[in-house]
Structure 1
Amino acid sequence: MSEVNSKQLREMMRFLERRLGGLDEYQKTCCEVTMAQCHAVVEIGRKESIALIELAELLKLDNSTMSRTVNNLVNKDLVKRVTNQKDRRYVTISLTEKGQNVYESIEKDMDSYYEKVFKDIPENKRIQLIESLQNLIEALDINKR
């Protein structure tokens, strides 16, 4: 029985990844940023200011990949680097005004999208779904490769 369930989980996860991957195309047309850049903008916007290393850890990316992503966002005038006056080696990243507008647009659009999705889930299953997703995330964290 375990094998059947794990195979079902795998198939459902593949299906879910493809479905969520469809949001990538929407994000590109919406904000003209890649999905990696979109994730970075959202995390920076939620923190207001964040160190590059912390952002890389949060997004599960290596520092060089994160640095390239941030460089592209700087070039698009979506983020800025702020050097600590006491320790010039310490740099934080924050959104520019344009970046803040993109962040707010992403948040509004995604909140609206997931609100519609949530409404299509039977009300008596919503708590169960959230709990199941939390359990799945914990299991994925325990078994990360």
Structure 2
Amino acid sequence: MVYRALAQAAYTLIQVRAQQHAHTTTYTFFTVLDLLPVVTGLSSDQCERATRRLQDLGLIHKTSGALPTQTGGKRQYRGGTWVPTTFLNAEGQKVTTQACAGTWVAVLLRPAPGITARVISHELPPCPRDLTTDRKKGRTAWQRLQSEGSSWIPGS
């Protein structure tokens, strides 16, 4: 069900962007995987296990686009889709920290032996969307599904 939703999203984006799908074997797009429970009706845990299993099988590959670096014993991420985001801590104070703004997902559209989905990090553009701003403006998939009853189109 999760793979079907991701493949449907890929084909929808190909169509919306007027691209050719006849020879496309893998399609990479930027999204938020928190949408999967909304689309599939599965729990977040089930969707996470499914995406992990799909990645192990090579049918999908997901990444934030960030490269981990070790600086002075502290692990940090350089590049990718990380943006400053404000959260409330346990004391109720606003704290700004780096958070993943979304995920690049490569979906293998024509599975075959020996072929696996890969996100090629050096080919990715900078963060294509500020999803934190989208959320603040009320531009989320959940709200879109509720208001329009439309299908899930990530990255649109």
Q: Same fold (TM over 0.5)?
A: no
Between structures 1 and 2, the one with greater strand share: 2
TM range (shorter): 0.3 to 0.5
- Higher RCO, 1 vs 2 (CA within 8 Å, ≥6 residues apart): 2
TM-score (norm 1): 0.37
In terms of fraction of residues, the more helix-rich structure is: 1
